[in-house]
Amino acid sequence: MDRSMEAKKIDSRMYRSRTTAERRTERRGKLVEAAIEAFSSSGYRNSSIEQLCAMAGTSTRNFYEEFGSKEELLHALYDDINKRALGAVAAAIAAADPENPKARVGAGVTAYLASVTADVRLARIAHVESVGISADMEAHRQAALDAFAAIIKQEAERMAMARQAPTRDFSLTAIALVGAIKGLAVTAATQGDGTASLKNVAAEATELMVAAILGPRH
C-alpha cells in the first residue's frame, strides 16, 4: 500500500477516535489563530467569515457552531487578551515587596506591558482593531478598562492604608492611568526604535504612576 494513503488512513482513524469536544476545541483554536492573523494584517472590517474559515481549514457551519458572529469571535479574543494581561498584573503585584511601593508599581506595569506587547498582532487587535466596532464591543472594552482601573485603585488604597500614599479617592486617577498605560502599550508594540523599547516604556509608565499615586517626590 502507498505510504501516503496509509498515512491518510491513520490520520482519519485518529480524527474519528477523538471526542466531539476535542475536535471542537481544535477547530476553535484554529479559528482564533486565523482571526489573530487576519484581523491584525487585513483588519477586522476587511476580514470575512469565509476568509477565516479558509485559513482555519474548516467550514462556515463549523464556525457558527463556535461563534455566533465575527464580532463574537472578536469579543472572545479581546477578552482573552485582557484576562491574561490583568492576571499577569495581579500576580506580579502580589509577588512584589509590600514595603516597596515603587517596586510594586513597576512590577505590575512591566507585567502588563510584557503581556500585551509580546505579540504585536494581539496588541493591534486589542488597541486598534477593536475600537469603534459596535456598542457591544465598546462595552467589552469598557469592562476591561474598569477591571484594570480597579486593580490600580485597590493597590493605591492599600498604599494609603500603609501610609505610603496620601489618603484620598483614587477613582479618577486610576482611570487616567489606565488610559496612559494603554497608550504607551500601543507605542511599545508598534514602534521599533530604541525609545519605545519595553524597558523604556515600562520605566516611563512606572514614574507616571508613582507620581500620580505617591506624589512627585518619590
Model confidence over 8-40: pLDDT tens digits? 555 555 555 567 778 888 999 999 999 999 999
Q: Which of 51-60, 70-79, 130-139, 195-204 has the least mean pLDDT? A: 195-204
**DSSP 3-state percent helix, strand, coil across the chain (nearest 5):** 80, 0, 20
Residue bearing the bigger pLDDT, 55 or 119: 55
pLDDT confidence tier of residue 218, bands split at 50, 70 and 90: low
More confident residue, 6 or 171: 171
pLDDT at 15: 52
C-alpha cell at 205: 509608565
pLDDT at 46 > cutoff 60: yes
**Residue 216: what pLDDT?**
60
- All three cell numbers of 58, joined, read 474548516
Percent of the chain at pLDDT > 70 equals: 88
CB-based contacts of 177, cutoff 8 Å, min separation 6: 149, 152, 208, 209, 212
Give CA–CA dist 21/45, Å, rounded. 30
CB 161 within 8 A of CB 189: no
What is the C-alpha separation between 184 and 167, in angstroms, rounded? 27
Question: What pLDDT does residue 142 have?
Answer: 93
Residue pair 134/71 in contact by the 8 Å Cβ criterion: yes
CA distances from 216 to 14, 109, 122 (A): 62, 18, 33
Q: Is the Cβ–Cβ distance between 130 and 137 less than 8 Å? A: yes
Query: What's residue 199's pLDDT?
Result: 84
End-to-end CA distance of the chain: 75
pLDDT given for residue 197 in this prediction: 77
3-66: CATH topology is Arc Repressor Mutant, subunit A (1.10.10)
Domain boundaries, the chain: 3-66, 70-213
Average pLDDT on 134-159 reads: 94
Angle at 146 between CA 142 and CA 152, to 5 degrees: 145
Phi first, then psi, for residue 216 (nearest 5°) are -65, -15
Residue 120: per-residue pLDDT: 86
The predicted model gives 205-210 an average pLDDT of 92
**Are 53 and 60 a contacting pair, CB within 8 Å?**
yes
Tell me the whole-structure pTM to 2 decimals.
0.81
Q: How far is CA 180 from the centre of its chain?
A: 16
Query: What's the pLDDT tens digit per position in 56-94?
Result: 999 999 999 999 999 999 999 999 999 999 999 999 999
Domain 70-213 indexed as CATH 1.10.357.10: yes
Within 13 A of 36's CA, how many CA atoms are on the CB side? Answer: 16
